[in-house]
Amino acid sequence: MKISTVLASGLGTGYAPRAPGTAGSLLGLLIGCALLDRGHWPLIAGAIVVSVVGLLAIPRTGAGSRDPGWIVIDEIAGQMIALLGLPYLTGSGVLLAFLLFRVFDIRKPWPISLADARADAPGIMADDWLAGGFAAIILLILRLIWPGTGL
């Protein structure tokens, strides 16, 4: 198996028999939590590194122009972006970041659907960047409504 395939598949999580996107998101959640525990800057750096790796690896997999289910590096990056909406790690915050990201990633409201329509590596990555960004914005709004809750 090519290294680009291993990376694009989220170290193989994209080959989960059921819900590979959720499996990739869980890997992104684990990596993201480990980085957020050290602060927002490590999490930002990690999301950038994963995104660049995704942009470089996806075209080298030979997967074609659509977003095959086994490519989950985009979910990993998107989930990490969603965690940026948390001030620090709490169980409820992490769960909410995960659920919000998955809802936006699966439902793909506008403009996420526009990015998803692109048939290239930036399009594969961008819909999840936007889904993560939307989730982070919702978390930030919730923090304004309920300050001090860790959301």
Share of the chain above pLDDT 70, in %: 98
The ranges assigned to domains in the chain are 19-145
Supply the pLDDT for residue 65: 64
Calpha distance 48→78 (Å, rounded):
10
How confident is the model at residue 64, as a pLDDT? Answer: 66
* pTM for the structure as a whole: 0.95
Lowest-confidence pick of 34-38, 65-69, 102-106, 113-117: 65-69
Alpha helices in the chain (DSSP H): 3-8, 20-36, 40-57, 73-83, 91-107, 112-116, 121-145
